[in-house]
Chains A and B, each alone.
Chain A
């Protein structure tokens, strides 16, 4: 895997794009459920302090934006996956939940 470009002011987050920030829900969720909780927690901790700035920045762009901007949105969506693990489930998968492998994702993005 390789890293993806991000807008200049978020350059310090570029190393995180190697593991996080895939373009589809299927890929982002797969990264989450196949990771160790400590890695999900580390990703969450690294991005959380930037989230307010990331959302303010993304608020000035739409889906016609250049690739680095869209990559930042993908990274933020991976952060969303991580956030429910850290803030709600304290696990990478839903505790006592239905087998996620049987729950097929057909989401458009």
Chain B
């Protein structure tokens, strides 16, 4: 494969300026309110995977703080997955209290109104006491909900500006044949962090931090050639989404346990297969020593795939300086228990590396809120952070017009 020419990423994206970026959007409550309206109320967002609601009747409840709502995602008897506001149409009580379960009907804990899995109001106790009960207008409030490669997306508006596939665009097209369905979830972690959602996302869309933050967990893993830096390859900035590829140090000596597991399975640290058997959608720019891709779907969803595993992040803003984080890692279904154990190595190492990443977030937010710096000085390697700021600012500006 050809090594890409050593150009600056920014050369290909003249619409992005190269000046320092204001801190204000990371710390201003007023700016966060604008983001809520212009961004989070206006885009398709991934809420779970079909594996979370695999069978008819299965449901999950997701609190979406930035929308000030609770969503009820239900796999209907007709096989369709729907998203409802988890709110009883009678007096507004939250309908389902459990985080997940399986049921044909949902009964409100206040006065006992009952809805089916399609959101239809099917029973009202003492119905004849109401003056006029229009059951059709008292269905659960439904939101647009679509599946893409097993990922369940919803749209906060009744009439989305564009269909999901169109919104996912070229990046969705690139990943459409990746074998998501052949993988199983092996790890899932959740936490709430006192930082702005963009501080959070920025920490995962550059490799510049890797030799410092991951000096213990991943020393020399994501560096290529003779470099001691994690120099990303193939930055691709789409209209709102963006993608990067991470280099791999293929010539280094693995640690003892890593060496054992690499005989059995692709690992977080290295792909056991060679590059001619890559799964569809990987390493699209063909960098030579490649580890995995970072695919960022605006506004808040990552799919980072490699040859045999992928991890995903969902970043859910709560307030200007609080964010809820969902992390999942999926791997190929193992043919035997030895591969299952080998995969555990990648899972454990990944989890612990995330603890390293997360250590910077609250300290960064505090630093920004101190007012000691007014602008962020991004390098070419941090162009994805610059792009996120650019898209956010443009969405807010467009919403104000």
Binding site for B on A (CB under 8 A): 25, 29, 48, 51-52, 54-63, 65, 69-70, 72-73, 76-77, 79-81, 83-84, 87-89, 94-98, 100, 102-109
Q: From the candidates A48, A57, A61, A103, name the one contacting B358 in the complex (CB within 8 A).
A: A103
Is the beta-carbon distance between B356 and A107 smaller than 8 angstroms? no
Q: From the candidates A95, A108, A109, name the one contacting B216 in the complex (CB within 8 A).
A: A95
Is the beta-carbon distance between A83 and B257 smaller than 8 angstroms? yes
Q: Would you call B191 an interface residue if the criterion is a C-beta within 8 Å of the partner chain's C-beta atoms?
A: yes
B347 proximity list for chain A (CB < 8 A): 25, 107
Please report the C-alpha to C-alpha distance between residue A25 and residue B347 in the assembled complex, in whole angstroms: 10
A25 proximity list for chain B (CB < 8 A): 187, 347-348
Q: From the candidates B264, B357, B359, name the one contacting A59 in the complex (CB within 8 A).
A: B264
Within 8 A of A (CB), among B311-355: 334-342, 344-345, 347-349, 351-352, 354-355
Give the A-B contact count at a CB cut-off of 8 A: 126
Is the beta-carbon distance between B216 and A88 smaller than 8 angstroms? yes
17 contacts between A and B (CB under 8 A): A51-B257, A51-B260, A63-B340, A73-B341, A76-B344, A80-B341, A80-B345, A83-B255, A87-B256, A94-B217, A94-B356, A98-B193, A98-B357, A103-B351, A103-B355, A104-B190, A106-B189
B193 proximity list for chain A (CB < 8 A): 98
Q: A52-B260, A61-B337 given; name 15 further pairs at CB < 8 Å.
A: A57-B338, A58-B340, A58-B341, A70-B337, A76-B341, A80-B345, A83-B255, A83-B345, A88-B352, A96-B356, A97-B352, A98-B354, A98-B355, A103-B358, A105-B188
Q: Would you call B396 an interface residue if the criterion is a C-beta within 8 Å of the partner chain's C-beta atoms?
A: no
Is the beta-carbon distance between A48 and B256 smaller than 8 angstroms? yes
B264 proximity list for chain A (CB < 8 A): 55, 59
Please report the C-alpha to C-alpha distance between residue A56 and residue B257 in the assembled complex, in whole angstroms: 14
Q: How far is the CB of B358 from chain A (nearest CB, A)?
A: 3
Q: Would you call B90 an interface residue if the criterion is a C-beta within 8 Å of the partner chain's C-beta atoms?
A: no
A98-B338 contact in complex given A89-B216, A106-B188, C-beta closer than 8 Å: no
Q: How far is the CB of B322 from chain A (nearest CB, A)?
A: 13
Is the beta-carbon distance between B189 and A104 smaller than 8 angstroms? yes
A52 proximity list for chain B (CB < 8 A): 260
Is the beta-carbon distance between A104 and B191 smaller than 8 angstroms? yes
Q: Would you call B192 an interface residue if the criterion is a C-beta within 8 Å of the partner chain's C-beta atoms?
A: yes
Please report the C-alpha to C-alpha distance between residue A58 and residue B216 in the assembled complex, in whole angstroms: 30
A98 proximity list for chain B (CB < 8 A): 191, 193, 354-359, 361
B334 proximity list for chain A (CB < 8 A): 62
Among the interface residues A55, A81, A87, A104, which one has the most CB atoms of the partner chain B within 10 A? Answer: A55
A59-B352 contact in complex given A107-B186, A107-B347, C-beta closer than 8 Å: no
B192 proximity list for chain A (CB < 8 A): 102
Among the interface residues A65, A76, A88, A108, which one has the most CB atoms of the partner chain B within 10 A? Answer: A88
Is the beta-carbon distance between A84 and B352 smaller than 8 angstroms? yes
Is the beta-carbon distance between B352 and A89 smaller than 8 angstroms? yes
Among the interface residues A54, A65, A69, A77, which one has the most CB atoms of the partner chain B within 10 A? Answer: A77
Please report the C-alpha to C-alpha distance between residue A27 and residue B191 in the assembled complex, in whole angstroms: 18
Within 8 A of A (CB), among B197-219: 216-217
Please report the C-alpha to C-alpha distance between residue A94 and residue B257 in the assembled complex, in whole angstroms: 18
Q: From B185, which residue of chain A is reached at the shortest CB distance?
A: A108
**Nearest 4 pairs between A and B by C-beta?**
A98-B358, A97-B355, A59-B338, A83-B257
Is the beta-carbon distance between B336 and A62 smaller than 8 angstroms? yes
Q: From the candidates A58, A73, A80, A89, name the one contacting B257 in the complex (CB within 8 A).
A: A80
Q: From A85, which residue of chain B is reached at the shortest CB distance?
A: B352
Q: From A97, which residue of chain B is reached at the shortest CB distance?
A: B355
Q: How far is the CB of B54 from chain A (nearest CB, A)?
A: 12
Is the beta-carbon distance between A84 and B336 smaller than 8 angstroms? no
Please report the C-alpha to C-alpha distance between residue A57 and residue B64 in the assembled complex, in whole angstroms: 46
